[in-house]
Amino acid sequence: MTTPRTGGAQGYLRIAAEEAFTTPELVAAFRDELAAPDVDPGFRSLIGFYLDHPAERPRFIARALNDLGENRIADMDARGIDRQILALTAPATNVMRDVERATMVAQTANDRLADAISRYPTRFSGMAACAPQAPKLAAREIERAVTRLGLNAVVINSHILGEYLDNPKFQEVLEAAEALDAPIYIHPNTPPANMIGPMLEAGLDGAIFGFGVETGMHALRLITSGVFDRYPKLQVIIGHMGEALPFWLYRLDYMHQAGVAAGRYEFMKPLKKGKVSNYLRENFHITNSGVAWEEAVKFTQRVIGEDRVLYAMDYPYQCPVEEVATLDAMDMSLETKRKFFQTNAERLFKIS
């Protein structure tokens, strides 16, 4: 295979929708959190590894996360990526018990991101960070980031100190996102302390599996708790081929209907749109981050619709140079590939 080029000669631009960066303020806060008593076990496993492990991959990742300039652009050129949609790297502010500091880290990250976008307006777009543990301030920061900084989406790294966005305490965050027409990307986090035990023991707590289990459950909780009946215009993006939810969908619909009909759980009320799958098809977009696999892309397009499946690379965590050539070669019409790589992202993130 030849090296993929940027510029769109293949009939579409390649926009990568889940690309990570960090800031000095976030790294400092991570270090302080790691040194604090009772550190979250998933956070220690994940960030303890990436900040300090001497192996080649974590050292490459730490360097790449810190660069919003020429080195990142060169990596994008080498991989055929025209534009990155940037998000503050996981778990960002979600683990911070110092709420004021978490809010400040999100604000400075948004300012730094807006600055990078102004330097490379054709190569970078971005999502707003926020600290949902201070919901009013988070809502205000989302508004500032969307209306003043031009960040047309929000990233939230799944559970917030063990709590989920269906909790009514976070309603201002969901309201702000819906009112501003800003999709929320629920990016993975490691499972919380009360969920992680057997996964951590087996080395399955991180991106290999635990991320997907935790984040897929978060998305499902939003559906089954009725969040989208309360915020019908809210759009949520999930990565990693929908954290496997498309593959579960038949059984989710069946068992959800059975549970609702029996009145088995207080939490699980009847939903306006009935089935779980109706919400996945109307309130979600899915990226293929980390899953450069033709069969899975096509299955997801068939199950939730080709207007809702987007390309993402997950730079710098998973960024092999040959990836886009594999996806360019998918047996798929040019029209559908263009939606996947370019136009779905342009619409969702309001890129013109």
What residues make contact with Mn ion under the rule CB under 5 A? Answer: 18, 314
Tell me which of ligand 1DF, Mn ion, none is bound by residue 215, counting a contact when its beta carbon lies within the kind-specific cut-off of 5 to 8 angstroms: none
Among 12, 43, 164, 317, binds ligand 1DF (CB under 6 A): 317
Of all helices (H) and strands (E), which one includes residue 156?
A: strand 154-156
* Closest C-alpha to 129, from 74, 184, 179: 184
Cα–Cα distances in angstroms (integers) from residue 315 to residues 18, 146, 292, in the given order: 8, 23, 13
Q: Is 316 in the site for ligand 1DF (CB under 6 A)?
A: no
Tell me the three state secondary structure of residue 184.
Answer: strand
Window 34-73: contact mask with ligand 1DF (x via CB under 6 A): ------------x---------------------------
* DSSP structural state of residue 274: -
Q: Locate tokens 């590894």: which residue?
A: 49
Q: Is 90 in the site for ligand 1DF (CB under 6 A)?
A: yes
Distance, in Å, from the CA atom of 191 to the CA atom of 181, rounded to the nearest integer, reads 29
Q: Is 188 in the site for ligand 1DF (CB under 6 A)?
A: yes
Among 6, 23, 89, 103, binds ligand 1DF (CB under 6 A): 89
Cα–Cα distances in angstroms (integers) from residue 47 to residues 30, 42, 107, 195, 299, in the given order: 8, 8, 21, 18, 33
Among 16, 20, 95, 249, binds ligand 1DF (CB under 6 A): 20
Tell me which of Mn ion, ligand 1DF, none is bound by residue 75, counting a contact when its beta carbon lies within the kind-specific cut-off of 5 to 8 angstroms: none
Q: Is 242 in the site for ligand 1DF (CB under 6 A)?
A: no
For the chain, what is the largest distance between any 2 Cα atoms, rounded to a whole number of angstroms?
58
Question: Which strands, in side-by-side order, build the sheet including 124-126?
Answer: 15-21, 83-88, 124-126
Give min distance, CB of 113 to ligand 1DF, in A. Answer: 16
Give min distance, CB of 311 to ligand 1DF, in A. Answer: 14
Q: Locate tokens 């047996």: which residue?
A: 331
Q: Is 348 in the site for ligand 1DF (CB under 6 A)?
A: no
Identity of the residue, 306 or 314, whose beta carbon is nearer to Mn ion in the bound complex: 314
Tell me which of Mn ion, ligand 1DF, none is bound by residue 84, counting a contact when its beta carbon lies within the kind-specific cut-off of 5 to 8 angstroms: none
Residue 158 region, left (φ>0) first, then alpha (ψ -120 to 50), else beta? left
Residue nearest to ligand 1DF (CB): 207
Number of residues lying near ligand 1DF (CB under 6 A) = 11
Q: Is 325 in the site for ligand 1DF (CB under 6 A)?
A: no
Q: Which residues contact 208 (CB under 8 A, 6 or more apart)?
A: none
Q: Is 323 in the site for ligand 1DF (CB under 6 A)?
A: no
Tell me the three state secondary structure of residue 296.
Answer: helix
Instruction: Name residues contacting ligand 1DF, limited to 277-296 (CB under 6 A).
Output: 289-290
Q: Locate tokens 């499972």: which residue?
A: 191
Q: Locate tokens 């989406």: which residue?
A: 153
245's tokens: 């939810």
Give min distance, CB of 147 to ligand 1DF, in A. Answer: 27
Residues that bind ligand 1DF (CB under 6 A): 20, 46, 89-90, 188, 206-207, 289-290, 314, 317
